[in-house]
Chains A and B, each alone.
Chain A
Amino acid sequence: MEKFKVIDAKELFAADHESDLIARAKKGDQQAFHQLYEIHHRRIYALCWRMLADKDSAEDVCQEVFVQLWQKINNFRGESKFATWLHSVATNTVLGHLRKQKNWLQRIFSIEDQTMVEASVEMPDQSGLSVLDEKIQQLPERARLVFVLFAVEGYRHEEIAKMLDMAVGSSKSQFHRAKSLLRASLSEQIA
């Protein structure tokens, strides 16, 4: 029981500290904002990298997320956890980036027909990555986005469908597809 009390106190302190940083950042304090960045940027970068499957784009978009955060931080009213709110800002920024990136070639040749990409994906910091991460990066874009948002980030299919402008059923089927591809790919790896 003692152990749980210590953890709770630590969490409470962290939450208080974060609230203080948010309040200061809202007043334009860049040092406080930097501390918020230090706390959250690795998680946001992981989200960007998993959704975008590209190290350079992930770094650029991660920066964009924090610039957007600076602009919009006054909109955070504490109705949800800051991390949850920041993740929604990040997810929207990534999806906006993807929409902008779609060039005419991708519009003509549907990316839905792509199979698992053969080329190796450039990984960020190898220490934190698993084989599954590598396989997720090789998924077709929609299947990857749905898998990351549902299985890794914990969004519901209804939310994902809205974000990706697709039917709920499509989100579920893309998730099923992603799982099948990942299971096949991971099995090959083992064999």
Chain B
Amino acid sequence: MNKLISEQSLQEQTVQLNKELAPKRDLWLGIEKALATTAQQPVQQKTNVLPMAWAASVVAAVLLSWFSFSPQNELKQTPDNLALMMQQDFEAQKRLVLTSFGQPELKKLPQDMQDQLQELSSARIAIDKALKNDPNNSELLNLLHWTQQQEIDLLKQLYSPKWQTI
């Protein structure tokens, strides 16, 4: 029976393995052909789109359960409240942003971007409804402010020059 080579010997041989090997044929020719028909992916911006979508979904889920289990289902109309002012301020900001980008058509955005905007918008509307039920709830007011800000930031991000080629 052969005596096994030592573990150390195997390790030494492994370390000595040639890190580089040359292919027999010229691989570049094929690569070059493929590149002619292959587009480079654009720079993936580190956007907050995914976290925003996630957060918006959480907000929507929380509000859905709020409405489902809340004992008070009748909404109290309090038009002269802080939420309304915030909402008006937000609408004005949004108009300003869209005007500064030349009133772009949101429908021309890629579908996933439209979905993100839609989710944020739905979350905002849901919070607004919840505030009508509880107008002085500071957590809801903070959530509304956060959601509005995310929507504005997303619009700015989408229409800043680096995204305009989409």
Contacts and interface: CB of A to CB of B under 8 A. Distances in A.
Interface in B20-51: 20-25, 27-28, 30-32, 34-35, 38-44
Interface residues of A, number: 44
Interface residues on B, range: 35 or more
**Which 3 A-B pairs have CB atoms at the shortest separation, nearest pair first?**
A42-B20, A46-B21, A128-B18
A97 to B, nearest CB: 15
A179 B10 contact: yes
Interface of B: 2-7, 9-11, 13-14, 16-25, 27-28, 30-32, 34-35, 38-44
Interface of A: 26, 28, 30, 33-34, 37, 41-43, 45-46, 49, 55, 58-59, 62-63, 66-67, 70-75, 124-125, 128-133, 151-152, 179, 182-184, 186-188, 190-191
Interface of B is mostly: loop
A182 B10 contact: yes
Nearest to A191: B2
18 contacts: A28-B40, A37-B31, A41-B27, A43-B20, A45-B21, A46-B21, A59-B23, A67-B35, A70-B35, A72-B41, A73-B40, A74-B43, A128-B18, A130-B17, A133-B18, A151-B11, A151-B14, A152-B14
